[in-house]
Structure 1
Amino acid sequence: MNYVIEVLEGQVDTSQVEMMWKNQNTGKVYQKAFALRSICSFPENIKERDEFYFSISPLPEDKMCAQCKAYSPTPNKGLSIEICD
């Protein structure tokens, strides 16, 4: 599954996110959005529209295989993240 993460609060380096991104399939517009690049380590219990805290991983993980990319559009910019407890 592809994930689009939208930053709702906190500081973010604007060069690492799409300040505005529109999903062409759904028409939904996201602010400060990025594609999740750490898909394999993303918790299964976090579902669409859930809010959670995260930090940007210091060791980027890019696990976007061709099958993952085929699901749905994502922003061009992507980050690996770690979920905060």
Structure 2
Amino acid sequence: MGSFGITRSSLLEELGNLVGVRVGLAVLRADIDPIVDEHMPNFQLGRRMSASEFAGLAFMTLRRFGDPWTEFGYKPLVVA
């Protein structure tokens, strides 16, 4: 799986933008800091992050801010 380099500041900005687009809330980096610390406690300045790590962190961030689509779970199943 691919990975990419990202700084903590850029990560917080991207997650804030995602919350703004999906949920319609303007959030501060200080609002997202605890979520990153909770799920990635050793993330200080920057590091390489896999796409699945980012997806999981984005899911948890959106869930915390009330995105209704996260109620279906991380990987929702469609049963016919």
Return the TM-score normalized by structure 2: 0.27
Give the structure with the larger strand fraction: 1
Structure with max Cα Rg: 2
